[in-house]
Structures are given as C-alpha cells and as structure tokens.
Structure 1
Amino acid sequence: MESYKKTNKPRILNIVPISIGSGEVSLGPLYISSALKKAGFDSVVFFPDLSLIMHFPIKYDFIQHQLDYIMKQIRPEVVTFSVLSTNYNLSKSWAEYIKTNFNTTHIIFGGIHSMIEGENIIKLDYVDAVCLGEGEFSLPQYLELILNNKLTQENSLNITYKLKGKIINSKKEQVFLSLDEYPFPDREPLKYYYREGVLDSANFITGRGCPYNCFYCNAAMLNQNKGYLRFRSPGNVIDEIIEVKAKFELKKVIFSDETFTMNKNNLFKLLELYKSKVNLPFECQTRVEAINDDIAKELTNSGCESITLGIESGNEYIREKYLNRKMKNDQIIKAFHILKKYNIRTNSFNMIGLPGDTEKTIWEGIDLNIKAKVDSAACTIFMPFKKTPIFEWYQDKKLIIAEPNTNYYENIVIKHPNLSKLSLFFYSLNFNTLIKLESNKFKRMFKVFLWVKLFFLLFKGFLLKLIKNPLKLIAMNTFMKNYYGRLSVKGIIE
C-alpha cells in the first residue's frame, strides 16, 4: 500500500469490501473518489481485494490489520462503503469496528445494496447516512453540509441520514446526468498494483443500467428509475482508455458492461475508434440475444479475445419461469457457435440450486454447455438477493438459511428442496471439469489417461481446502462415486 500524504483538505476514506467474483476492479468507488477530489476533498480508496492477491490464501485477520493501519494513518473524517449484497455483512462488521474504535468518524453506506435496502441500513447504530442514488452528484454536497455543520431536516439530497438521533428521509426524484459529464474514475489508488505487476489490465464501462428484468438480479430494480439507463459516447470511452493506457502498462482491456453489445450503433462506433486508437486485446460480456454474425465479426476484427455469456440454467422452463430469461437452447447454442466461428474464446455463466433444480437439470446444463462448445464455464451456487422475485420464492417457502456473503462459488445460503448441500457444493466446484470430461467420448485406451486427468483437475487448487475441511473430502469421494456410476450407466466405462 502506498504511504499516505496528509493534506489540509477534509479526508474521506472509501472502502471496497471483499467480494470474490469477476476479479475486476470495482469502478463505482473510483468514480466517487474522482467526484470528491473535484469538489476539493482528500479522497483515498482502500481495495482489500487487490491486497489479497498478494497475500494468498485469504487471511481476514490480515485485512483487518490493514484496515486498522490505514484508519490510524489517515484518521478520516468520513468513511464510505461501496456495498453489494455479497459484501454487506462484511461491510457491517467493518463499519461497526470503525465506529467503535474511531467514534468521531462519520460512516456512509452507498452502492447498489444500499439503494435497495437503505431504509433498513440507516437503522444500524454505526451507520450515519445512506446514499440512495448515484453518489457523484449528491455525496459531495452532503459532505460539505456535515463538515460545515449546516445539515438540516430540509436538505434534499437523495441521502437518508441521521440528525440529532432522528432519521431524515430526503429521497427525491433523481435526475441522472449524462455519463460524459462525470470525471473519469480515480485510478491513482491502483498505481502500486500496476507497478508491482498485480494488475496488467484495466476495466471500463460504456454505460449504466440494463434494459432487461431478470428475476434474480437486484440491478433490475434500478430500471424503475427513469433515465438511469444511458450510455457514454464512444469518444468519451476511448479518451479514458487512452489516458489509462498512457499511465499504466496495459496488456489488455476489459469491458465490464453486462450487455456490452446491446447498443449496436454505439458498439460499432466504439470498436472503430478502439481499433485505430487503442489496439489492445479486450474481453467483454453480453447476452445471447445480442450476438449475431455482424457483431461477432466486428468484435474479432477489433481485438476481442474472449466473451462471456449467461446460460444460467440448461432447462428452458426453469430459465424462463424463475429467471425471466426467455432465450431457447437452440438460440444459446447458435450464439456460442457464431463466436467460435470468429475465433473468439467463449465463457459461460451458470447457476445451480435454482427453483426446480434436480441433478437431472444440472446435467442438462452440462450437456447444453457441451453442445454450445463453451471453452470455459463458471458455475455458482445460487444466492437469492433481497427484493428480487426469486428471493420472495425462497423466502415464502422458508428456504433461506443465511444472509448473502462474499463467495457464492462455495458458500450456501439456501436449503434446496431437491439437492443436498453436498451436491450443490460439488456440482458447482466441478461443473467445468464435468463438461470437459463429458465432451470427450473417449475410447477404452484413453480411460486411464482421463481418470488421471480427472484427479488432477479436481484436486488442483483445492488440495489445501480438502485437507483442512473433512466435509469437502467426504463430498469429493461421493462425487467420484456418482460420476463413475453415471459413466457406467452410459456405457462409457464397464
């Protein structure tokens, strides 16, 4: 971590709690930091995720030590948390620690989970305010008021706050500014990680919002805000990439938009500029519905090396009824095949533990990935988020056994009516391996080779966990027996 240089400006510490997932840098706090610096504040961003890369395996006591160190070094007047549903519990724990040990600090929660659960978060003793919308505009105004003791009950800032022990709800209809008006994200906190070789890529967004209404995604709630869905101009995006490329040594670019290819006109203009002015390999993600030959051709001509699409479930009924994802299996297969035709590496998102899931439907997902010729498949154990339709389904049936947490690849928060914890854990853990095994209709002479490969793939990266966790060791044995039984039934192995 870089040493902190004190200034006479009000000090704001922006914390991004651990949230295991894509591996991309969370841009929201960097946008906020830029807005705060522009308004005259001394803004610092703390990224424990990136520190963990340098200190593996994960040690939460080490991160706690880092947090304590930075708080003592900076002594910020205000601490903000960028909160997702997956890091909410950790955010609460750290906020309580800060309020207890540095009780003069004003604590503000923001981020998508705060926008959804703000009325409950503000009731926490250690939270002083909750930002209910985009913070680039409202947060600097709020900080000016509290730091100058001018906060009153009449302020209308899209921020819920406490004043003399009373909760003041100041939410108003938000006017969303053009994204081109926002300053570029403050990447200064990342320079250490680039210098040390921890980072060699940078991620960018080309817009905010999503036009779809998936039943499992709490981002869909933001669609209710008129004007939230909007795009940056292609030139604005390219200017930012050029600026970051000049500052750091980049090997590739990642576009973090969940539907990168949705706006075709914007996309083609962006790709034309990207090819001529940036010319680096890039990765992106989108939806099956937003892929065709024209788009795939432009992507590959502009340097796209890898693209991720959501399959989610291999069962059409589950996918449409419970997820509101209406694409058909044939449509999924076609989209992946188009990308393969243009030599773009394909990755898929998958979930297990959905309503209606059984071992049969999980294998339908595995088989669909095989038919789609997916290069790599990620599979998570389903984690329902509050205020989504699918959360209500689990809640009504009293099947939620824990709060969402930092790792939905391994942690289980639901009691599934058809699948044991053991099954959920292992199908998630071994989903990609099963695809690779099932897609190789090997002959008898390759049997020994592939079983050696199986053991290697299953135990690589998880050996330490297996030794430390007997449950996983037992489950691994169960998985091996189940898979061997499936092969026997299919006549692949005697």
Structure 2
Amino acid sequence: MFRKIVKMNILLVYPNINGQFQIQMGLASISAVLKQAGHRIDLFDTTFIVSGSFEEVSVQFMKRFDEVLAKFKEKVSSSKPDIILVGIRSLEFDFATKLLREAKTNLPVIFGGQHPTVSPEEVIKSDVADYICIGEGEEAILELIEKLESNEDVTKINNIWVKKDGKIYRNPVRPLMKNLDELPFPDWDIFDARHVSTIGKFETSRGCPYSCTYCINSYMQKIYGGVGGYHREKSIKKTIEEMEQFLKKFPQVNYIWLIDETFTLNNDRVKDFCEQYKEKIKDKFNVKFGCMTRPEVLSEEKCQYLKKAGCVEIAMGIEMGNETYRVEMLDRKMTQQSIINAFLMAKKSGIKTYSFNMVGFPNETRKDIINTIELNRKGKVDEIQVTIFYPFKGTSLRDFCEENNLLDLPRNEVGSYYEKPVIKNPNLPKKEVMGLFRTFTIYCKSPKIFWPFIKIMEYDNLVSINLSRIANTFIKQGFKPKAFGIFFDYAYNNVLKVPKLLDKLTILI
C-alpha cells in the first residue's frame, strides 16, 4: 500500500507535558508508515526531561523550559532533519509553539494530532506552522512527504492544510482507512525503552461510536460523516500477531492495556478475541490484560470471557452522578443502576474495576459531585480517577460554555486535567471544586463517619492541601514501603521547606 521512495530525514516531536508514560500510539503508527516508505525518522520526546506525577509535571515544563529548549536544539543539530512533524493534543499547543518559535530552526513544520483537527484555523495561522494534518494522518502525511521530496504541488492533498506565499490552502478530509490491517505494526523502537517498562499498549479498533459532549469523538464523527464510518476494527488475527511480536521484543512486559474506548461493544468479537488471546498470549507468555468499555455494553457473559482469557481490570466512565445531567448535558444515556450493576458485575467475576470521573462541569452543584462519589461507593469501585473538566475545542460542551459566557481560560499557560477549573460556575466556586477534586477519592474510600473530617481537607490552605495529598497517597498505595517513600519524598520537598507548617499540623492533630 505504501510505495517506497527517496528518503527524507524527519524529526517527530512529542511534547508530552502531561507526563504520559506509555508509547504515543499516533506517532508510533506514523513513524512505522514513514519508515516502511524508506524515510529516516528520529524522535524528540520530552517525557523523561521533565517527569513526575500527572498533577505536577505540566507546571514544571514552563519552569524548566530553557532546559527543554536546549535539548531540543541539540536534537535538531544531531538529527539534521529536513522537516519537523509535531503531534499535539490541545493542552500541548502553547508549549509546542513556544518551543519551535524560540528554537528558530528555519525548518518546515507539520502539526498533526487532536488539536489541529479540532482547531485547524488557530494552528495553521500560528507563525511556526507550515502544514497541518486534520484527522488520521498515516496516508495524508505520507503523501505530503512524498510530494515535498519530489517537489510536486502539495496544495491539493486531502486532510492537509498548507500555508504558502501568504495564502492558506484548506483541503477536505479523505475517506477513513477501512482496512486497519494494512497498517504496519507501530514503531516501538523509536521510543525510549522506559516508555515500555512492563506494560504494552494496543488498539484493536479505532473510533468510539458514542457522542459524549465533552469528547472529541463526536467532532470526529461529524467531519467523517457519521457514526458508522468512524468506528473500525482490526482483525483479531492481526491484533494478536502484533502482540506476539511486541512480547518477543520486550520480554519484560507482563501486562497489556487495550486502548479501545468501548472494547466490549460486540459480544462475538469479545469472545473471539478472548479465545485467541488465551491460547496465544496468556498461555504462552503469561501476560494479563486490561480494557476500557462503557457500563451499558458490559454483560455477565462478556465478563466470563474476559476473566477466562486473563483480563484483570476493566475501566469504565461514570463521569457524573446526576442522571438527568448525564443524559441531557453529556449525552451518556445510561441509568444509575446500570452503572452500579456493571461495576458490581465485573467485581463479581473477579476483575478489578477502575472508574473515570470528572468534576467542574458547567453549572454543576456540590450535590452533583457527591452523587458521583456515591455512585463509586455503590459500585464498590477498586481504583478511581478524577479529573477536572476541560472544554476542548470541537466539543459541543465547549460550544455550550462559549454560548453562556462560562469560559475562564488562562492565556499562555500550560494546563492539565489536574490543575484547576477553567470555567465559571455560578453554583460552585472554583475553590470548592478544587477542594472536592482533591478529596474525591478520599470520600469514595472512607466510612461516612469520617466525612466531616474529610471536609476539613477541602479547605484552601496549605495544611488541608497537604493532608489530602498524604491521605490520597496511602489510599492509592496502601500502607506499604512504596507509600511511605512517596510520602517522605513529598514531605521533604513540599512540607519541611514551608515555615511553621509542622507546627500547624501538630496543632491540628
């Protein structure tokens, strides 16, 4: 499918300001396609320049920007690329443009990924952008690279917008690749081995068929003409072959995570996958796996297939505990009881459960957040993730925020889902949202007799903030040596250096 041509040197850039440790699958796939076509690929990856917890790493990027910039210049100098390709999500755009602007490489730059897709005008008008790729990029970026190499016209490539001679050429998207089996295996080798560690990440399908209002998938469905064409599946055979090759290359891996948003969508497909996985992966490599799905597409039968095949964790979104709000505002049409039943069903099958939750939705109330906490408690969720709602461009909930003058976005700041609310809410002050964000898991995991004490941790002062961090550490890690190590490391760097804080803690206790 991909014709081999004269080589170009291409530098991929991964501005990973949220500290995601796993391989970035989009760049891995693009790299594999370009390498298969004969190009030389290098990667500048910020992950291990600035590392830390998700909650803290994004703030550190701006504090240590000069260090990142120096390393980027070194990489450009040693790699000698002909072109730079940057993959960005929305929260990475400001950082990436600042990096390129100050590096002054004088090289052509392609932007691809989520943010150019949902906000193409903003990205193409950036002073550091020459080309942007909208939507899936394997075929489009390869076509662009080939035509640049052969000095052909690049202004009419579907999915590609071009800025040339003061004019912007805006092209429509091409039909989605239907047969995902035609893609080569992702290029794992381009990433630092620390990205792999003991976990492998795989996709068995692309595109979620649902339309949650806070998610980019609804926008992707619109630009590609509907739900039916956006969700596509790899063959189980190709997926298993990819896993086998990966595990032979990285024998230390003992866990596989499936990144499909709704893995259990189709009963027959789940059964087929589980049978092949058990035979060719679990029994041969002794590697277990986890997956994501939605409560309404999980069943006892699917849980039995998953458990037998070696599934040890299922992650599902709760997001919001107010059923009316969830259905009408988030377009998540599931009942309270169906959510509870799904988590209990997985737990009954012996599979660990993990929930996704958000706080800080438009016009959300304190009671709504408490209801979200209650759903986690009733579902007896094992592990809980909570993030702060962010109004991503291209989503209908972003449109709602704009129409109702709720946006309160900082300018030129690195942000994350863990940093602070970015919308105005007449029902809930930002400080209260942050307090509930910090204590969300503590409320979920603690007997209600302790709730009055937990409320103290919601307060916006150093004592309460540090108490909540300590409590969250021990809830997540348990009373193990690792937890004590995390606690003492945090205490040394953040508590002991604060004057009189220990005196305040002693008085409070």
Q: TM-score, normalised by structure 1?
A: 0.85
Corresponding position of 2:46: 48
- In structure 2, relative to structure 1, the CA distance for the partners of 1:139 and 1:210 (3 Å cut) is same
**Which of residues 313, 317, 322 is equivalent to 2:320?**
313
Matched, 1:457 2:462: no
Matched, 1:293 2:309: no
Corresponding position of 2:37: 39
Give the C-alpha shift of residue 208 in structure 1. Answer: 0.7
Corresponding position of 1:382: 389
Q: Unpaired segments of 5 or more residues in structure 2?
A: 1-5, 452-463, 474-486
Q: Unpaired segments of 5 or more residues in structure 1?
A: 1-7, 443-450, 485-494
Corresponding position of 1:487: none
**Range moving further from structure 2, 410-419 or 23-32:** 410-419
Corresponding position of 2:23: 25
Give the C-alpha shift of residue 68 in structure 1. Answer: 2.3
**Range moving further from structure 2, 216-225 or 369-378:** 216-225
Corresponding position of 2:476: none
**Over aligned residue pairs, what C-alpha RMSD do you find?**
3.0
CA contact under 8 A between 1:322 and 1:355: conserved in structure 2? Answer: no
Matched, 1:185 2:186: yes
CA contact under 8 A between 1:351 and 1:382: conserved in structure 2? Answer: yes
- In structure 2, relative to structure 1, the CA distance for the partners of 1:191 and 1:26 (3 Å cut) is closer
Cα separation, 1, equivalents of 2:214 and 2:53: 33
**SS state of the match for residue 386, structure 1?**
coil
Cα separation, 2, equivalents of 1:397 and 1:462: 40
Corresponding position of 1:132: 134
Cα separation, 1, equivalents of 2:448 and 2:313: 21
Corresponding position of 2:205: 207
CA contact under 8 A between 2:23 and 2:191: conserved in structure 1? Answer: no
Give, as a single letter, the amino acid of the residue that structure 2 aligns with 1:179. L
Give, as a single letter, the amino acid of the residue that structure 2 aligns with 1:189. I
Corresponding position of 1:260: 263
CA contact under 8 A between 1:381 and 1:428: conserved in structure 2? Answer: yes
Give the C-alpha shift of residue 464 in structure 1. Answer: 6.6
What aligned pairs does 1:107-186 form with structure 2 within 5 A after superposition? 107-151=109-153, 153=155, 155-186=156-187
- In structure 2, relative to structure 1, the CA distance for the partners of 1:319 and 1:24 (3 Å cut) is farther
Give, as a single letter, the amino acid of the residue that structure 2 aligns with 1:206. T
Give, as a single letter, the amino acid of the residue that structure 2 aligns with 1:273. Q
CA contact under 8 A between 1:129 and 1:162: conserved in structure 2? Answer: yes
Corresponding position of 1:4: none
- In structure 2, relative to structure 1, the CA distance for the partners of 1:328 and 1:390 (3 Å cut) is same
CA contact under 8 A between 2:178 and 2:232: conserved in structure 1? Answer: no
Cα separation, 2, equivalents of 1:284 and 1:454: 29
Corresponding position of 1:448: none
**Which of residues 416, 424, 434 is equivalent to 1:407?**
416
- In structure 2, relative to structure 1, the CA distance for the partners of 1:454 and 1:382 (3 Å cut) is closer
Corresponding position of 2:253: 250
CA contact under 8 A between 1:81 and 1:108: conserved in structure 2? Answer: yes
Give the C-alpha shift of residue 156 in structure 1. Answer: 2.8
- In structure 2, relative to structure 1, the CA distance for the partners of 1:307 and 1:440 (3 Å cut) is farther
**Which of residues 65, 80, 84 is equivalent to 1:79?**
84
Give, as a single letter, the amino acid of the residue that structure 2 aligns with 1:135. G
Give the C-alpha shift of residue 54 in structure 1. Answer: 8.0
What aligned pairs does 1:375-454 form with structure 2 within 5 A after superposition? 375-402=382-409, 405-438=414-447
- In structure 2, relative to structure 1, the CA distance for the partners of 1:455 and 1:27 (3 Å cut) is closer
Give the C-alpha shift of residue 221 in structure 1. Answer: 1.3
Cα separation, 1, equivalents of 2:319 and 2:46: 29
Give the C-alpha shift of residue 152 in structure 1. Answer: 5.0
Give the C-alpha shift of residue 250 in structure 1. Answer: 0.8
Give the C-alpha shift of residue 440 in structure 1. Answer: 7.4
Cα separation, 2, equivalents of 1:54 and 1:394: 31
- In structure 2, relative to structure 1, the CA distance for the partners of 1:50 and 1:181 (3 Å cut) is farther
Cα separation, 1, equivalents of 2:249 and 2:339: 39
Cα separation, 2, equivalents of 1:152 and 1:315: 50
Cα separation, 2, equivalents of 1:36 and 1:322: 41
Corresponding position of 1:488: none
CA contact under 8 A between 1:13 and 1:46: conserved in structure 2? Answer: yes
CA contact under 8 A between 1:107 and 1:126: conserved in structure 2? Answer: yes
Give, as a single letter, the amino acid of the residue that structure 1 aligns with 2:444. I
Q: TM-score, normalised by structure 2?
A: 0.82
CA contact under 8 A between 1:405 and 1:411: conserved in structure 2? Answer: no
Give the C-alpha shift of residue 434 in structure 1. Answer: 1.4
- In structure 2, relative to structure 1, the CA distance for the partners of 1:23 and 1:288 (3 Å cut) is farther
- In structure 2, relative to structure 1, the CA distance for the partners of 1:435 and 1:325 (3 Å cut) is same
- In structure 2, relative to structure 1, the CA distance for the partners of 1:468 and 1:388 (3 Å cut) is farther
Deviation per residue, 1:44-101 (Å, 9 max, x gap):
2333225544899744324333322212211211111112122222222223234xx2
Cα separation, 2, equivalents of 1:389 and 1:310: 18
Deviation per residue, 1:98-153 (Å, 9 max, x gap):
4xx211x1101111221121133111121000112321111112112223322254
